[in-house]
């Protein structure tokens, strides 16, 4: 089972939930399984206010964070897990079945990482853009005739599985302490920014491709499972490249 400290490093993120009852139900499931960190990334401020002001709203809801974007909500997390069904999509990310999630989450928390489990809006779930912030997509193995779960029930099932079946994994003797700590999402975003700037500066591809490149870059950086130390090194390299590019550019301007 997860310790109190580990539970406190697991964050539930709801992206643009529409029904205040579902927000309340998600918060209640969190309290049932001993989790307390809820973030709501939404522009529907009214639904959010309504959920919080409901009679008997649990502490989880009263203490929740509200952010403008999913990126902002998960900025401090080292493992971001999106949820959804695969019926209508072919994701860019690694897909794991819910029963396999506890070992991954338990391992990340035991290494001192911070985990986010992300739930999309009721109607259509997480978008491809939302998923570009995720390291993996977890699928709840539902019946193909009725694959889509109610939001509050999906949260309950995922947190039950993680709370009950997580266990600290055996120590990984092959990796040093430093390389075991995964990079936080915020640092990956900075790295993506710097690499993107480099792509633009070097005219890597046409301007029309920028959005697509940015998406692929996000997905790639998460798939690489970079450690905090790896990320610092890559970031250092790209900042150095940028410095040289600027230097070269100013020399060319001097010459002109």
Site residues for its own copies per CB under 8 A: 21, 25, 28-29, 31-34, 58, 98-99, 140-143, 145-150, 152-153, 156-157, 160-161, 163-165
Q: Minimum distance from CB of 164 to its own copies (Å)?
A: 6
Q: Minimum distance from CB of 152 to its own copies (Å)?
A: 6
Q: Which is nearer to its own copies, 73 or 155 (CB)?
A: 155
Tokens 């709370």 found at: 163
Q: Minimum distance from CB of 15 to its own copies (Å)?
A: 20
Tokens 């918060």 found at: 27
Q: Minimum distance from CB of 30 to its own copies (Å)?
A: 9
Q: Which is nearer to its own copies, 43 or 146 (CB)?
A: 146
Q: Which residues pair with 11 in a beta bridge?
A: 37, 116
Q: Which is nearer to its own copies, 92 or 100 (CB)?
A: 100
Q: Which is nearer to its own copies, 33 or 238 (CB)?
A: 33
**Distance between CA atoms of 43 and 61, rounded to whole angstroms?**
17
Q: Which is nearer to its own copies, 120 or 152 (CB)?
A: 152
CB distance 49 to 76 below 8 Å: no
Beta-carbon contacts of 58 under 8 Å, excluding residues fewer than 6 positions away, are 24, 27, 28, 30, 31
Q: Minimum distance from CB of 138 to its own copies (Å)?
A: 13
Cα 117-195-205 angle, rounded to 5 deg: 115
């Amino acid at each position: 089972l997860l310790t109190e400290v580990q539970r406190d490093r697991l964050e539930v993120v709801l992206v643009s939930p529409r029904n205040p009852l579902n927000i309340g139900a998600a918060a209640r499931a969190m309290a049932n399984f001993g989790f307390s960190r809820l973030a709501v990334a939404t522009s529907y401020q009214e639904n959010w206010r309504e959920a919080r002001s409901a009679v008997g709203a649990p502490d989880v809801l009263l203490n929740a964070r509200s952010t403008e974007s999913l990126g902002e909500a998960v900025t401090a997390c080292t493992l971001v897990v999106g949820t959804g069904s695969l019926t209508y999509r072919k994701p860019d990310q690694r897909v794991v079945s819910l029963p396999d999630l506890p070992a991954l989450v338990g391992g990340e928390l035991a290494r001192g990482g911070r985990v986010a489990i992300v739930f999309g809006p009721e109607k259509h779930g997480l978008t491809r853009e939302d998923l570009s912030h995720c390291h993996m997509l977890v699928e709840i193995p539902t019946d193909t005739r009725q694959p889509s779960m109610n939001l509050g029930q999906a949260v309950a099932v995922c947190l039950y599985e993680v709370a009950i079946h997580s266990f600290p994994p055996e120590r990984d003797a092959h990796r040093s302490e430093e390389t075991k700590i995964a990079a936080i999402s915020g640092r990956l975003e900075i790295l993506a920014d710097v690499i993107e700037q480099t792509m633009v500066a070097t005219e890597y591809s046409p301007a029309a491709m920028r959005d697509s490149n940015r998406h692929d870059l996000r997905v790639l950086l998460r798939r690489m499972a970079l450690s905090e130390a790896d990320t610092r090194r890559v970031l250092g390299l790209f900042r150095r490249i940028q410095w040289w590019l600027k230097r070269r550019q100013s020399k060319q301007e001097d010459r002109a």
